[in-house]
């Protein structure tokens, strides 16, 4: 990205400094510790007010900064002649700037992806498929919110042909705003689960919120969604744009057939191209669904089936999304510790128990967060997904998992069922390390806020610290 400061000032409705036409902005940053030369700094309000760090941003190489009216005088007195654009709201200015850059300066095709689970993996798969034929930029890390989406947009080079942008939400109105900002050519919903049910109360309301992604969909755009989900089929009937479905059921526009799951990959065929055999470097039927969504996007962009097959076979998986690793004792670890909800836990357990082993299958499950008043029963309800003959040992971690521990007490004896409160993570790690063998399989699954990545690291290092 390269733009003169006077143009940015005009876009965001700010008065430009006298020399603004001679200042070139080449990036954007909202963390003064990570600023690079040429960046415009955006002071946002979090635990601390970003306006406190404008001086630091300029010292680090920023060539300009936004600033709200309330901080204008004090900021200007601190930074002297440095270029400051005074705006009503720095976040809104960031979004307006990104929208201008996207729609006026670059104007790529936009693929927007959301869902209770699978949106990051689907984003990675979609970007890999489209990159076989186009210049593609995709969302990095978890930059999928009101801040991350505009930052992703502003990271594009001017020759970008397709932007694949992940969109997250935890309240009504968020996806509507993001979709309106990006105006996607293709909108994708991977699935409806229980993520953020604390705020939405029911899956119906979650589906309503996810459907906001089509609010900015271009009139000639395409809506791609999971046809196995009745809540989406019902709501899709009210969408005017073209739409296609994917799923495991044969009545979808693109259905998976002959799915074969292995520890480190999954193979499948699709109904549309029976002669093209697909493989993804991940386990799980749920990841096959993600691949189907990506294939439908590729089809919209006229990517050949063979090119899509090759792209999916080698795409790079974002860290901690159903990733197989080897522990210090030689055990195989399935790490899926970025997020969690009942639908996701059931899906990964369904595939985990199919992986052959000469040892034991051990499930380490952390709390599923943001489940609200239903949390107790949703945790306890996982009991029917755990069978001592398939998963020999269960380790439960966090206050909400006590409900599942109590429900499982009739199925597992005390030597195979363990509970740890949130202050006992190191004890959990130590007990796992003391009892794990090289031919065991371990599943780690929990919400990101439970920080099971620390347990993972202990298993990888053999460390009890």
- The answer to whether 201 is a known ligand-binding residue is no
Q: Evaluate whether 248 touches 277 at the Cβ level (below 8 Å).
A: no
Residues paired with 359 in a beta bridge = none
**What's the pLDDT band for 242 if we cut at 50, 70, 90?**
very high
Q: For position 323, what pLDDT does the model report?
A: 83
The stretch 248-276 carries a mean pLDDT of 93
Which residue in the block uniquely carries the two structure tokens 């999954």? 266
| Contact in structure between 104 and 11 (CB atoms under 8 Å) | no
What kind of fold does domain 3-94 have according to CATH?
A: 3.40.1390
Asked if residues 368 and 378 have their Cβ atoms less than 8 Å apart, the reply is yes
Q: Mean pLDDT lowest for which of 35-44, 178-187, 371-380? A: 371-380
Range 80-93 average pLDDT: 96
Q: Is 266 annotated as a binding residue?
A: no
Which one has a higher pLDDT value, 137 or 356? 137
pLDDT of the residue at 389? 96
At 196 the pLDDT is 65
What confidence score (pLDDT) does residue 318 get?
A: 73
Nearest to 282 by CA among 461, 118, 166: 118
Determine the pLDDT at residue 198: 67
| Rounded distance between C-alpha atoms, residue 179 and residue 423, angstroms | 40
**Range 449-455 average pLDDT:** 95
Percent of the chain residues topping a pLDDT of 90: 86
- Evaluate if residue 30 carries a pLDDT over 90: yes
Query: Rounded to an integer, what distance in angstroms lies between the CA atom of residue 95 and that of residue 109?
Result: 18
Residue 321 has what pLDDT?
66
pTM: 0.89
Range from 67-71, 225-229, 321-325 carrying the lowest mean pLDDT: 321-325
Q: Is the pLDDT of residue 96 over 90?
A: yes
Give the pair of three-digit tokens for residue 357.
């082993």
- Quick one: CA dihedral 52, 145, 60, 160, positive or negative? negative
Amino acid 263: pLDDT: 84
Q: Are 292 and 270 in contact (CB under 8 A)?
A: yes
Three-state SS annotation for 368-395: CCCCHHHHHHHHHHHHHHCCCCCCCEEE
CA distances for 283 relative to 1, 226, 351, 403, angstroms: 37, 19, 7, 28
Write down the CATH number for the domain with range 108-314: 3.40.1190.10
Evaluate if residue 185 carries a pLDDT over 80. yes
| pLDDT at residue 283, as a whole number | 87
Does 341 appear as a known binding residue?
no
Give mean pLDDT, residues 379-399: 97
Q: With bands split at pLDDT 50, 70 and 90, how would you rate the model's confidence at 224?
A: very high
**190 among the known binding-site residues?**
no
Rounded to whole angstroms, what are the CA distances from 293 to 115, 179, 188? 11, 18, 7
CATH number corresponding to 323-461: 3.90.190.20
pLDDT at 270: 96
The whole-number pLDDT of residue 147 equals: 97
Helix (H) or strand (E) holding 445: strand 441-445
Q: Left if phi > 0, otherwise alpha if psi is -120 to 50, otherwise beta: which for 234?
A: alpha
Provide the residue ranges of all domains of the chain, joining segments of one domain with +: 3-94, 108-314, 323-461
For position 131, what pLDDT does the model report? 98
* pLDDT of the residue at 320: 57
Whole-angstrom distance, CA of residue 266 vs CA of residue 154:
35
User: For residue 194, is pLDDT > 80?
Assistant: no
Which comes out higher in pLDDT, residue 205 or 320?
A: 205
CA 226 from centre of chain: 17
pLDDT tens for 302-353 read 999 999 999 999 998 776 567 889 999 999 999 988 888 898 899 899 989 9
CA atoms within 13 A on the CB side of 280: 33
Question: Is residue 119 a known part of a binding site?
Answer: yes
> What pLDDT score does 262 carry?
86
Residue 449, annotated as binding a ligand: no
Quote the DSSP letter at residue 412: S
Structure tokens at 165: 């942008």
| pLDDT grade for 463, boundaries at 50, 70 and 90 | confident
User: Which band of pLDDT confidence, cut at 50, 70 and 90, is reported for residue 464?
Assistant: low
pLDDT at 136: 98
How high is the pLDDT of residue 213? 98
Phi, psi of 99 (to 5 degrees): -60, -45
Averaged pLDDT, 98-126? 96
- pLDDT exceeds cutoff 80 at 372: yes
Average pLDDT, integer, range 424-442 = 95
Do the annotations mark residue 216 as ligand-binding?
no
**Alpha carbon distance 2, 12 (integer Å):** 16
């Amino acid at each position: 990205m390269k733009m003169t400061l006077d143009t940015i000032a005009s876009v965001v409705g700010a008065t430009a400094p006298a020399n603004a036409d001679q200042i070139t902005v080449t990036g954007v940053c909202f963390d003064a510790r990570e600023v690079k030369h040429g960046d415009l700094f955006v002071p946002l309000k979090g635990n601390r007010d970003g306006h406190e760090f404008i001086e630091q941003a300029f010292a680090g190489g920023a060539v300009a900064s936004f600033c709200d009216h309330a901080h204008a005088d004090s900021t200007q007195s601190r930074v002297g002649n440095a270029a400051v654009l005074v705006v009503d709201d720095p976040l809104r200015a960031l979004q307006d700037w990104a929208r201008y850059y996207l729609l006026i300066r670059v104007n790529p095709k936009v693929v927007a992806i959301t869902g209770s689970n699978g949106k990051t993996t689907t984003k990675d798969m979609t970007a890999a498929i489209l990159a076989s034929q186009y210049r593609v930029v995709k969302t990095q890390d978890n930059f999928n919110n009101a801040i991350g989406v505009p930052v992703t947009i502003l990271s594009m080079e001017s020759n970008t042909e397709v932007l694949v942008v992940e969109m997250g939400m935890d309240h009504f109105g968020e996806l509507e705003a993001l979709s309106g900002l990006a105006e996607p050519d293709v909108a994708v919903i991977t699935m409806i689960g229980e993520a953020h049910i604390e705020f939405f109360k029911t899956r119906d309301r979650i589906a309503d919120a996810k459907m906001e992604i089509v609010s900015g969909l271009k009139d000639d755009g395409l809506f791609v969604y999971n046809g196995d989900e009745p809540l989406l089929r019902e709501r899709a009937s009210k969408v005017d744009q073209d739409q296609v479905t994917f799923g495991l059921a044969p009545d979808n526009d693109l259905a998976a057939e002959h799915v074969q799951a292995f520890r480190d990959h999954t193979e499948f065929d699709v109904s549309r191209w029976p002669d093209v055999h697909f493989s993804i470097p991940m386990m799980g039927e749920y990841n096959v669904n993600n691949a189907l969504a990506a294939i439908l996007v590729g089809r919209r962009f006229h990517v050949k089936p063979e090119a899509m097959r090759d792209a999916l076979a080698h795409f790079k998986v974002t860290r901690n999304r159903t990733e197989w690793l080897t522990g210090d004792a030689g055990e195989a670890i399935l790490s899926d510790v970025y997020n969690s909800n009942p639908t996701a836990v059931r899906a990964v357990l369904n595939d985990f128990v199919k992986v052959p082993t000469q040892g034991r299958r051990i499930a380490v499950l952390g709390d599923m967060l943001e489940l609200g008043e239903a949390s107790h029963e949703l945790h306890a309800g996982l009991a029917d997904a755990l069978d001592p003959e398939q998963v020999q040992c269960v380790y439960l971690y966090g206050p909400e998992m006590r409900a599942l521990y109590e429900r499982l007490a009739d199925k597992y004896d005390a030597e195979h069922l363990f509970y740890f409160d949130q202050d006992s993570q190191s004890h959990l790690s130590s007990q796992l390390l003391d009892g794990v063998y090289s031919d065991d399989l371990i599943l780690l699954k929990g919400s990101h806020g439970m920080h099971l990545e620390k347990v993972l690291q202990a298993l990888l290092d053999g460390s009890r610290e």
